[in-house]
Structure 1
Amino acid sequence: MDTRVVACIIRLTLLTLLTSPASSCRYLAKLSSVGSIRDEETCERLRGLIQRQVQICKRSVEVMDAVRRGAQLAIDECQFQFRNRRWNCSTLESMPVFGKVVTQGTREAAFVYAISAASVAFAVTRACSSGELEKCGCDHNVHGVSPEGFQWSGCSDNIAYGVAFSQSFVDVRERSKGQSSSRALMNLHNNEAGRKAILSHMRVECKCHGVSGSCEVKTCWKAMPPFRKVGNIIKEKFDGATEVEQRKVGTTKVLVPRNSQFKPHTDEDLVYLEPSPDFCDYDPRTPGMLGTVGRQCNRTSKAIDGCELMCCGRGFQTQEVEVVDRCSCKFHWCCYVKCKQCRKMVEIHTCR
């Protein structure tokens, strides 16, 4: 991967330059060789951080590798969730990593902030449960016998620590602005909505104990949902996001639906300030506006991945290509699977 891309991903990993100017990415080439963040000097060199974030980084150096993994998780999940849409979460060699889409108060920006805040909480919590961090471990508040009669045991995910760290590190940039701007309020709301996608879907996992697999005794623990489910939840919130505007209620500035006929949004909903562009055409003046020329589409689909919508009415071209798949797979005792290679011709449709 190009060193500039790696450098920009490192910066996104620290969740600080989603809205920063492209020129600020130049110095990051020297950080592309940094495999981990394990000393206070590294925190000082991450000049995109505000002072409060530098202090948190220094105080929690061991946590920062989990933050970095969380940000890559956010990028991967964003690209999965939007793989069939006109805007497909492509990363750029320049900053911002996702282009100007996230510098505007659009639905797409709402999703990026929500998934980023959620991914940091998720990755830090996972690091706690795995014993990677000295600062935290399993959630020991979950213990004893439950009202359902099973014994709390095992390692319950310490989601409270992960969420608290995400709030302190990710949100501090918006809070430093005094929470007076509409965009700061939007970002803070969507950050919290992302974390609630985990909190509201914690699950109970159990293991049975007893003779011959009977469940005479059952021990259980609390676990986070898979991150794919978190991404699915936030994507659903994206589809139903509420357009809002800032109003003053008493002495407090709040976000309310722009259309008074819409019901108020909840803490778990995503909100945005301005409509999204159509993403149809490449615009060299707008980084991230890549257009849909050359994108694959589904000829038979009537949804957004269909050629009519994906190609914005420009039409598409079809070509036959040969693909090789595994087929006629058989399980052999013991213990491997042997497959044949089958070749077939398939039609690929791409937007003009």
Structure 2
Amino acid sequence: MVESRFECFLCSLRTVNILLPSREAAYAHGIATAGVVFAVSQACREGYLTNCGCSRKKRPNSLHRDWIWGGCGDNIEYGYRFAQGFVDIREREKNHPRRSPGLARTLMNLHNNEAGRRALYSHPEIACKCHGVSGSCSLKTCWNQLASFRVTGERLRQRYDSSVRVRFNRRGTKLIRANSRFRKVHKEDFVYLEESPDYCVPNPETGSLGTVGRRCDKNSDDMGGCRLMCCDRGYKTRKAKLSERCHCKFHWCCFVKCKVCERIIYIHTCK
């Protein structure tokens, strides 16, 4: 059920009001902050920024003793600090009264921003380059490197699936898990205050247009597949005639001449 809701949220991301303190808003904050860390860290390495350069991270103990620690790694430390100041400043400048809904949302956003940063900062990779005659790799130079953003996005997706609902503590000073039977909240977890609305149906209050009428692929089990896109409501199929260029040939000199071919296609839309 969580997976289906997440897919529907992505389908409607452009129109959904992420001001709702739901797990989707938590994901949006986390991945946006991770994107800042990723972009700035790599910009430092490429020399696009004057305030930073290559990573200065110390040699890890796990690295082979004969390998050289050097090269120019992604400056994850600077990217983390930059995102911490740049992204969080908007939340920290807000002045909410104690126990107010606004304060709870601010604490939620700050926590999820940190979770997004840690998805990169806490999971660096070591990249190496071989040296030696004819690529014998008798010597290696290694450096610190970010994981690909696809890997980071998948890690954040897993955080979305396991996100924890929270509430104020009795003093109204911090957020704690809403249900004490659930596991404790860690810094890399996403947290949210309210359950997600149903993004499958239109809802003017949340800004969701729903998925009625959206095109889908009946042969796919991914996000664009009819099962997920249509939220198990089923889909309609219609035939359409598609005209496209075909049998193109190059003629000397110098133009391409094509014929126009027509074919019948089937279009599937959600009910």
Q: TM-score range by the shorter chain?
A: 0.7 to 0.9
Q: Which has a greater percent of helix?
A: 1
Q: How many residues are paired up?
A: 247
The amino acid that maps onto 1:254 is K
The equivalent residue for 1:188 is 110
After TM superposition, give the deviation of residue 313 of structure 1 in Å. Answer: 5.0
Decide whether the 8 Å contact of 2:12 with 2:199 is kept in 1.
no
Match of 1:243 among 165, 168, 173: 165
CA distance in 2, matches of 1:277, 1:318: 28
CA distance in 1, matches of 2:6, 2:266: 17
After TM superposition, give the deviation of residue 131 of structure 1 in Å. Answer: 0.3
The equivalent residue for 1:197 is 119
Q: Does 1:113 align with 2:29?
A: yes
After TM superposition, give the deviation of residue 290 of structure 1 in Å. Answer: 1.2
CA distance in 1, matches of 2:224, 2:203: 21
The equivalent residue for 1:46 is none
Decide whether the 8 Å contact of 1:143 with 1:151 is kept in 2.
no
Q: Does 1:214 align with 2:136?
A: yes
Match of 2:84 among 146, 152, 167: 167
RCO comparison, higher one (Cα < 8 Å, 6+) = 2
Alignment of 1:42-191 (within 5 A): 85-88=7-10, 90=12, 99-100=16-17, 102-142=18-58, 147-149=63-65, 150-177=67-94, 181-191=103-113
CA distance in 2, matches of 1:82, 1:160: 36
- Over 3 Å counting, the alpha-carbon distance change for 1:237 and 1:144 in structure 2 is closer
The amino acid that maps onto 2:203 is D
Decide whether the 8 Å contact of 1:206 with 1:220 is kept in 2.
yes
User: Which moves more between the two structures, 315-324 or 197-206?
Assistant: 315-324
CA distance in 1, matches of 2:137, 2:262: 49
Decide whether the 8 Å contact of 1:84 with 1:305 is kept in 2.
no
Q: TM-score, normalised by structure 2?
A: 0.79
CA distance in 2, matches of 1:91, 1:270: 18
3-state secondary structure, aligned to 1:268: coil
3-state secondary structure, aligned to 2:215: coil
Match of 1:253 among 168, 173, 180: 173
Computed over aligned residues only, the root mean square deviation of the Cα atoms, in angstroms, reads 3.3
- Over 3 Å counting, the alpha-carbon distance change for 1:232 and 1:205 in structure 2 is same
Decide whether the 8 Å contact of 1:82 with 1:89 is kept in 2.
no
